[in-house]
Amino acid sequence: MPDKILVTREIPDAGLRVLEPFDVSVLHERPPEREELLDAVRGASGVLSTATEKVDGEVMDAAGEGLQVVANMAVGYDNVDVAAASERGVVVTNTPGVLDETTADVAFMLLLAAARRLGEGERLLRAGRWEWWGPKQLLGQDVWGKKLGIVGFGRIGQSVARRAKGFGMEILYHNRSRKPGAEKELDARYLDLDDLLETADFVSLHTPLTDETSHLIGERELALMRPTAVLVNTSRGPVVDEAALADALEKERIFAAGLDVYEDEPDVHPKLLDLENAVLAPHIGSASVETRDRMAVLAAENIVAVLSGEEPKTPVNG
């Protein structure tokens, strides 16, 4: 009998082809309900999950003793209880590296759109309210030549910095560890978080979501930012206190924000929905045809490796 694999969402065919030797059940396009997940996972040797499913000890116990691997189709794995997996001898894997450039594109897209008021302008035009070109109309902030502060200077943070170099931007960064190689390559300057927030014209967040980074940017941190500054978040929603951000944007304490992620997805703070200076994307950081193929294939290959007794390509634990 082939091993049973539960794929929690519809994923690109490229990933499913890798899993052909197994008995694969795919749930649906929408995220499964909790009870549905607990039921469907029974007897699975491998689970291919996405960031929308909470995979904790209860899910692992529901799968049973045969569970060997949880392959998360995301680089972030805050939705998986890694300690619970390790206790049960379950390997957890993620998909680092294959989505860096695609996600960095979205961060830069949000940075430009928020700085140059693209969302507001498009809404004006589509509503038939654009009456003329105006010398003082829709004036934004220049991006070129400005200071970009990157918080979390890992794979994606550095990919964003490379784009910024093309815009003649100066790179500042904050990270829990210094990155001498990247500092040299990108001519980047290390600052502590408060100094970075006070200095940067643009702040882009690229840390994982952990206990330390939850609400890393709150009321106090937003108050340190320049009134002309733009905040970009493509990391995870809870890294920013969304209510505090909505308040800062409403009171124009900062110029704008470009967001791809939210504290309680798919819900978005109601105030943000009404603000012209918030550019809001529906968690599309890695959403390109090519990258989703690569993510699905890597997650599936990790499952194949573990079930064949080999080292997975990108383990999180073990």
Using CB under 6 A as the binding rule, whether residue 234 contacts ligand NAP is answered as yes
Report CA 225 to chain centroid distance, whole Å.
22
Q: Which ranges of 78-187 does DSSP label H, i.e. alpha helix? A: 82-87, 100-115, 118-126, 155-166, 180-186
User: Which of the stretches 26-34, 36-44, 113-121, 206-214 binds ligand NAP when contact is defined by CB under 6 A?
Assistant: 206-214
Residues 6+ apart with CB under 8 A from 118: 112, 279
To the query of whether residue 174 is one of the catalytic residues in this protein, the response is no
Site string for ligand NAP, 259-288 (x = CB under 6 A): -xx---------------------x-xx--
To the query of whether residue 265 is one of the catalytic residues in this protein, the response is yes
Element (H, E) at 253: none
Binding to ligand NAP (CB under 6 A): which residues in 71-110?
75-76, 96, 99, 103
Residue 219 to residue 241: CA distance in whole angstroms:
8
- CB of 176 or CB of 220, closer to ligand NAP: 176
Size, binding site for ligand NAP by CB under 6 A: 29
- CB of 3 or CB of 105, closer to ligand NAP: 105
Question: Rounded to the nearest 5°, which phi and psi values hold at 239?
Answer: -65, -25
CA atoms within a 13 Å half-sphere pointing along the CA-CB vector of 100: 14
Question: Rounded to the nearest 5°, which phi and psi values hold at 203?
Answer: -125, 125
- CB of 56 or CB of 250, closer to ligand NAP: 56
Site string for ligand NAP, 148-187 (x = CB under 6 A): ----xxxxxx-----------------xxx----------
Considering 236, 269, 292, 294, which one is annotated as catalytic?
236
Give min distance, CB of 174 to ligand NAP, in A: 6
User: Which of the stretches 141-149, 218-226, 230-238, 262-270 binds ligand NAP when contact is defined by CB under 6 A?
Assistant: 230-238
8 A C-beta contact, residue 79 and residue 72: yes
Look up residue 203 and give its two tokens.
């702040």
To the query of whether residue 269 is one of the catalytic residues in this protein, the response is no
Which residue reads 């989505």 in tokens?
Answer: 99
By the 10 Å C-beta count (0-12 exposed, 13-18 middle, 19+ buried), 243 is classed as: middle
Give min distance, CB of 116 to ligand NAP, in A: 21
8 A C-beta contact, residue 5 and residue 24: yes
- CB of 86 or CB of 210, closer to ligand NAP: 210
Using CB under 6 A as the binding rule, whether residue 49 contacts ligand NAP is answered as no
Using CB under 6 A as the binding rule, whether residue 306 contacts ligand NAP is answered as no
Give min distance, CB of 65 to ligand NAP, in A: 30
8 A C-beta contact, residue 318 and residue 89: no
8 A C-beta contact, residue 262 and residue 242: yes
Site for ligand NAP, rule CB under 6 A: 75-76, 96, 99, 103, 152-157, 175-177, 206-210, 212-213, 234-236, 260-261, 283, 285-286
Q: Which residues are catalytic?
A: 236, 265, 283
